[in-house]
């Protein structure tokens, strides 16, 4: 499997960050677009037991099917195999037909830029501030891009999005993994009650 060399930084002001990218002559690959994804596992959660899951994602112009495995939350801890498919709904039906179970449905917004060969994405997930994620061909390139963008390496997060939600809400990673839907609706009452005060962030 391929190792994802990437890191994210939270609570980004999108207009200011876009101006910074333009000043650095970054190339906009595509403007902010809506994406949807469905995550799958076997009913007994055998993939989850080894840090894995199947992700079906509609990216707006392409549809991808991935097996992802989070071995640990370090820079080199996330592995992935991705292929392109052509029909979101038929692929969903296929995964269900072979015995997988849909574990969650998620909506996001994403904008992608290219800076010195690095992918810089501006991500917006429901109920939390937008963040930036950089994916690079190697560790040195990633650290160089972060320095260029004035993103402190000490604040970098690795792995899936649960760590971002944990900065704003008092939930464990395993609890977040049980959320069946993450969509662009007002913050649910059950979630608002678990909000971490800004003084603790």
> Which residue segment(s) compose the domain that 80 sits in?
2-200
Helix (H) or strand (E) holding 10: none
User: What is the value of pTM for the model shown?
Assistant: 0.92
Tokens linked to 123: 């991500």
- Looking at the structure of the chain, the number of domains it has is 1
- Which tens digit of pLDDT belongs to each residue from 5-20? 999 999 999 999 999 9
Helices (H), the chain: 14-23, 88-97, 139-148, 162-168, 173-176, 189-192
- Which tens digit of pLDDT belongs to each residue from 83-126? 999 999 999 999 999 999 999 999 999 999 999 999 999 999 99
- Which tens digit of pLDDT belongs to each residue from 136-163? 999 999 999 999 999 999 999 998 899 9
d(CA 34, CA 58): 9
Residue 77: pLDDT band by 50, 70, 90 thresholds? Answer: confident
Tell me the CATH number at 49.
2.40.320.10
Residue 198: pLDDT band by 50, 70, 90 thresholds? Answer: low
């Amino acid at each position: 499997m391929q190792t994802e060399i990437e890191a994210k930084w939270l609570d980004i002001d999108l207009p200011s960050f876009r101006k910074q990218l333009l000043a650095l002559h970054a190339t906009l690959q595509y403007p902010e677009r809506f994406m949807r994804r469905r995550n799958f596992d076997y009913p007994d959660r055998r993939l989850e037991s080894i840090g894995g899951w199947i992700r079906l994602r509609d990216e707006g112009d392409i549809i991808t099917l991935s097996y992802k495995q989070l071995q640990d939350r370090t820079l080199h801890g996330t592995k992935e195999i991705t292929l392109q498919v052509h029909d979101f709904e038929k692929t969903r039906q296929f995964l269900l037909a072979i015995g997988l179970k849909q574990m969650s449905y998620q909506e996001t917004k994403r904008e992608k830029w290219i800076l010195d060969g690095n992918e810089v994405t501006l991500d917006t997930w429901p109920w939390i501030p937008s963040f930036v994620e950089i994916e690079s061909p190697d560790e040195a390139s990633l650290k160089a891009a972060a320095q260029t963008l004035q993103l402190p390496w000490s604040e970098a997060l690795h792995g899936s999005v649960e760590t971002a939600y944990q900065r704003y809400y008092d939930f464990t990673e395993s609890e977040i993994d049980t959320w069946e839907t993450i969509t662009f609706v007002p913050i649910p009452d059950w979630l608002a009650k678990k909000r971490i005060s800004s003084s603790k962030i």
